[in-house]
């Protein structure tokens, strides 16, 4: 299960990606690319990349976030959260990226509801 909160055009969403094959279908502007960026961003954070290593420059070994990290937060919100629940380990992981002053993040294993 993948969780998003205040990420780009997503207010709040839970997406089941546990099947071996997942297809994202929707009209232009519906959030397909934003969902992929959210999964990539969470993956990079879990792997230990710093926010400085995450850029909007291109995919030359680094993650591309269209519009930069500041564009991740939905509208006038101060932070966004991404999380994943591992079906194999049953261990939830959530990270919150706060943009009130500058991008910082707090990652931790937590009990997700």
Tens of pLDDT along 36-49?
A: 888 888 888 888 87
The parent domain of residue 9 ranges over 2-109
Give me the pLDDT at residue 28, please.
94
Q: What is the 3-state secondary structure (H, E, C) of the chain?
A: CEEEEEECCEEEEEECCCCCCCCCCCCCCCCHHHHHHHHHHHHHHHCCCCHHHCECCCCCCCCECCCCHHHHECCCCCEEEEEEECCCCCCEEEEEEECCCCCEEEEEECCCC
pLDDT-above-90 percentage for the chain = 17
User: In this predicted structure, what is the pLDDT of residue 113?
Assistant: 42
Top-confidence residue, 101 or 54: 54
Distance CA 30, CA 19 (A): 22
Q: What is the mean pLDDT of residues 101-111?
A: 51
Q: Residue 94's pLDDT is what?
A: 80
The number of distinct structural domains making up the chain is: 1
Mean pLDDT of 97-102: 62
């Amino acid at each position: 299960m993948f969780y998003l909160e205040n990420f780009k055009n997503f207010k709040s969403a839970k997406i089941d990606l546990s099947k071996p094959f997942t297809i994202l279908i929707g009209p232009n502007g519906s959030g397909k690319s934003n969902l992929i960026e959210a999964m990539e961003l969470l993956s990079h954070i879990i792997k230990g990349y710093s926010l400085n290593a995450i850029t909007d420059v291109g995919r030359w070994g680094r993650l591309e976030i269209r519009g930069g990290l500041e564009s991740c937060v939905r509208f006038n919100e101060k932070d966004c959260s991404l999380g994943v629940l591992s079906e194999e380990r049953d261990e939830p992981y959530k990270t919150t990226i706060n943009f009130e002053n500058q991008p910082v993040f707090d990652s931790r294993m937590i009990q997700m509801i």
